[in-house]
Structure 1
Amino acid sequence: MRADPSSRLPVPRRAGGPALSAPGRPAALARPGAGTPDRSARRLWAWWLVSRAVLVTLVVTDQAFGMQQSVLGDLHIYAEWGRGLSRGEGMPTGDDRWQYPPGAAVVFVLPDVTHAYLGLPYRAVFVGMMVAVDAVLTAALVRRSIPAAGFWVAGLTALGPVALARFDLLPAAAAVAAVLALAAGRFGRAGFHLAAGALLKIWPVLLLIALSRPPLRSPGRSASIDPPPDPPPGRPTGRFPAPSPDWLRLAAGVLCAVGGLAALFALTGWWRDAFGFLGAQQARGLQVEAVAATPFVVAHMLGHGTAPGYSYGSLQFDTPLARGVATACSLTEIVVIAISALWWWGWARPPAAADGAGRAGVLVGRTLALLLVVVVTARVLSPQYLVWIMALVAVWIAMARPAGSGGLTVPAGGPAAPVPAGGPSWRWVALLLICVVLSQVVYPWRYNDVVQGRIMMSLVLVVRNVGLVTVCGWAWRAAAGSRPA
């Protein structure tokens, strides 16, 4: 009896993915062993445990391993604010270091309340909260895409202990949750997560700007790049259609988050000066790490200009020229965001996509491009801001390369070209990770060298800043050229 010839045929491969199973053979048995998703997920979680144990150790031991700067400085400030808020003293708007939206007050109070009732140290509760948020975010990415989760675990490890000693993981997790909810068609949840993140740090509102004009879906009308048909008599006319149920659910989710915080503030009396943080942001100079401060860093390295001074909770250049540059940077942010909003909401057609993941991928690409402009033109660029960028890159990878599709691909168009599914290329993802590693080298390990104008570390900071500008340019090109699959 002759063997079935099909058993000798080569097994075809999908582009960028694992081999397909042979006819009649279960897909789960086609590639046994190390390549199975379950084993990859277990390895990733083992890596997560080891890396987070290292980060927690660095936070707890602080400067025991030769760090020039302590990462616990902000934690002491958080504890001070938390005590005042829990005792009814209201928002600390008299402190020029208070520069956060009102929702941050809840984050600062929770560890203090836990300390009051359970006796646990504020530092331990806060770091535990951040580790828990990181674990939830990692789990959400693992379910969607192992490469995305791997990038996230590696990126946060590369940033170092500052990632767990600040609360930027919370708005980052909220933004990722909003994108995943949009991809699943759960617009109410997406609105809630988006608003919750924006109440902690303003940047998640960029998701709303990048979302584009209605409709996500309109009643009786599918998403299409073709012009909508003329409405029947009695229907509203004009360029913008009537709000769709999806948009109404999104707005309802936003109102739930805002209303919940407003009710809490009314009960606690925190509503007074809830927006006092805006004045502190406008009065700041140029922080040493800011991209716009690069010429001042070089001048200080060469022995010219003035040294940075401590003000508004950070070391910054505070000369009239530096303040003028900072003002110009703020105006640049406003102009770029305004033009993008007018284009995406007024003239650009809504992106056509076969599924929610494609639309979410376009949304994340646009948001990341806007966020990178905000970061590279900001008068302040603290290392924890890179958590925001890495969270969006991770969820963009998840939208472009879902579970089982393999890793990212490097397109023929070069490092700035998007992968076919609309995600980032490996090259600029790798450059971003290099920038993150250099950020940890600068702060907390060798920050004093930068402040003192030492040549080596000043050049490291310059290279990091140039890398971030390059990533920003690539992100804009990728977002402009990305199309949902």
Structure 2
Amino acid sequence: MNRLRVTSGPVLALTAAWLATRGLMLWLLVQGGARLLGKGSVTREVWRLYAHWYGLLSHGSFPVDDTTWQYPPGAGPVLLAPGLLPDLVPGLTYFEAFVALTLATDALITAVLAGAGTRPGRSLRGAALWTGGLPLLLHLPLARYDVQVTALAVISLLTLRRFPRAGGAFGALGALVKVWPALVLLGTPRGRATRTAWTWAMAAGGASLALLAVSFNNPFTFLRQQGGRGVQIESLGGTALNLARHAGWSGRAHYQYGAIELVGPHVEAVAALSLALTAAAFGLLVLWRARARHWSPATPYDAALAAVLLFTVTSRVISPQYLVWLLGLAAVCLTSRHTSQRPVALLVLAASALSSVVFPMYYAEVVAGTWTGCLLTLARNGLLTAAAVLSFVRLWRAARPPSGKTAPTTQPRPDSDRLPERVLSIS
């Protein structure tokens, strides 16, 4: 009863904040035709591209020879799901159904984070970060399916400790939708927990992939389109090339593969460098995994955030919706009082706010390569790079035992992070 009184107030405040902020996001969605909101470019992906793909998927085939289709086959069911709502609520358009499902998934993430945060020894800061952080991206999260992907990653992480089988399965399902959730299994403690989670991930992923392969035609066409991508203008490499335009570089911005990319001399070299940096980032994560000696209850969360940050900043593409992933993972970290990632979460919040200035508010400046556009992307990417470096450094240090001590290589027992009731009551 005492614990209920302690948590009910913050949970009610969190609920009110969610309703207010999501109402604001919906209002921005309605006003999306305004110049500073992108003149409709944010919502166009749903009512034009997603709806087109829905038509193909509903006839049993993934898009063929469509350079904008670059997603694993698990994305198919996600894009088909809005088509079920008009049967339940007649009159809904595909766009309206998509937004409704995205909001419902957003509410689910908030509820899961709040549920985790109200357990003894945990914190509601994660739910608060998600609730207050997502609106920093304006209405963009409602017009992309990254909220759905993030939900799978969040649930995977928050179930890994008590239910490693379910955690592994959710991670695999997320990877089938957008690949990156596979990284959430990186920080599972050595031993039985890792074997269980990874085995169930492979089993669930293999079974789901087989089911999709027999249910749809052309499930692997995305590999060809993904491999052909160049350097998106918002990536680190794209920022460097955009700045080089002021020093006489003869390249230009061009729409291809569903994004604004830079074409011209040395672009292939920059793309190759990005891939090399991604490989180096993977090597660093493997090295951390091999040398880590201390696992706290927050280590799987912290490792997931560090890994996705490293892969984001070394990518040839840094789309604005990537910040949805990072906000979700940072929120999971903050549910634990053991996390090493609190300053990283602040950098992710700052990068999210600045990302909305880059797109959609001043995206025309970015595409034109003006000094304003270049400096905005440089600042946003600088924040993300700083967050990635800081995240990995803090993850590395947290995984080393205190000097002169030998730390266990597994997590403490589930109740070992329980705090005294008096401490909980003032948190």
Instruction: Check whether TM > 0.5.
Output: yes
Counterpart residue type for residue 305 of structure 1? S
* Number of residue-to-residue matches in the alignment: 392
Q: Secondary structure at the match of 1:91?
A: coil
Task: Tell me the equivalent position of 1:481.
Answer: 397
Q: Distance in 1 between matches of 2:370 and 2:239?
A: 14
User: Aligned match of 1:325 in 270, 276, 280?
Assistant: 270
Q: Distance in 2 between matches of 1:97 and 1:287?
A: 13
1:82-481 to 2 correspondences below 5 Å = 82-88=54-60, 90-115=61-86, 118-145=90-117, 146-183=124-161, 185-211=162-188, 213-216=190-193, 247-248=195-196, 251-252=199-200, 254-266=202-214, 268=215, 270=216, 272-301=217-246, 304-341=249-286, 344=289, 347-348=290-291, 351-353=294-296, 358=297, 361-399=298-336, 401=337, 421-425=338-342, 427-481=343-397
Q: Distance in 2 between matches of 1:215 and 1:188?
A: 11
Contact 2:173–2:204 (CA under 8 A) maintained in structure 1: no
Contact 2:116–2:335 (CA under 8 A) maintained in structure 1: yes
Shift of 1:384: 0.4
Shift of 1:476: 0.6
Shift of 1:430: 2.3
Residues 286-295 or 207-216, more deviating: 207-216
Shift of 1:310: 0.5
Q: Distance in 2 between matches of 1:439 and 1:349?
A: 33
The CA deviation string for residues 188-208 of structure 1, in whole angstroms up to 9 with x for no partner, is 211111111001010111123
Q: Distance in 2 between matches of 1:343 and 1:423?
A: 15
Counterpart residue type for residue 207 of structure 2? G
Q: Distance in 1 between matches of 2:232 and 2:45?
A: 16
Contact 2:126–2:335 (CA under 8 A) maintained in structure 1: yes
Q: Distance in 2 between matches of 1:339 and 1:376?
A: 14
Shift of 1:447: 0.6
Segments of structure 2 that go 5 or more residues without pairing to the other structure are: 118-123, 400-410, 412-416, 418-427
Shift of 1:100: 0.3
Contact 1:214–1:350 (CA under 8 A) maintained in structure 2: no
Q: Secondary structure at the match of 2:347?
A: helix
Counterpart residue type for residue 173 of structure 2? A
The CA deviation string for residues 336-356 of structure 1, in whole angstroms up to 9 with x for no partner, is 214533652xx4356445xxx
Q: Output the TM-score relative to the length of structure 2.
A: 0.85
Q: Output the TM-score relative to the length of structure 1.
A: 0.75
Contact 1:189–1:250 (CA under 8 A) maintained in structure 2: no
The CA deviation string for residues 148-206 of structure 1, in whole angstroms up to 9 with x for no partner, is 111111211111111111001112111111111112x2112111111110010101111
Q: Distance in 1 between matches of 2:285 and 2:270?
A: 23
Q: Distance in 2 between matches of 1:114 and 1:330?
A: 40
Segments of structure 1 that go 5 or more residues without pairing to the other structure are: 1-25, 217-245, 402-420
> For the structure 1 residues 125 and 258, does the alpha-carbon distance in structure 2 shift closer, same or farther, using more than 3 Å as the test?
farther
Residues 60-69 or 39-48, more deviating: 60-69
Counterpart residue type for residue 252 of structure 1? W
Contact 1:212–1:350 (CA under 8 A) maintained in structure 2: no
Shift of 1:129: 0.9
Contact 1:297–1:458 (CA under 8 A) maintained in structure 2: yes
Q: Distance in 1 between matches of 2:347 and 2:321?
A: 17
Counterpart residue type for residue 154 of structure 1? G
Contact 2:354–2:376 (CA under 8 A) maintained in structure 1: yes
> For the structure 1 residues 453 and 336, does the alpha-carbon distance in structure 2 shift closer, same or farther, using more than 3 Å as the test?
closer
Shift of 1:390: 1.2
Q: Distance in 1 between matches of 2:312 and 2:201?
A: 27
- Give me the CA root mean square deviation: 2.4
Shift of 1:209: 3.4
> For the structure 1 residues 27 and 108, does the alpha-carbon distance in structure 2 shift closer, same or farther, using more than 3 Å as the test?
closer
The CA deviation string for residues 112-133 of structure 1, in whole angstroms up to 9 with x for no partner, is 3444774420111111111011
Q: Secondary structure at the match of 1:62?
A: coil
Q: Distance in 2 between matches of 1:47 and 1:110?
A: 28
Q: Distance in 1 between matches of 2:312 and 2:292?
A: 27
Q: Distance in 2 between matches of 1:251 and 1:331?
A: 29
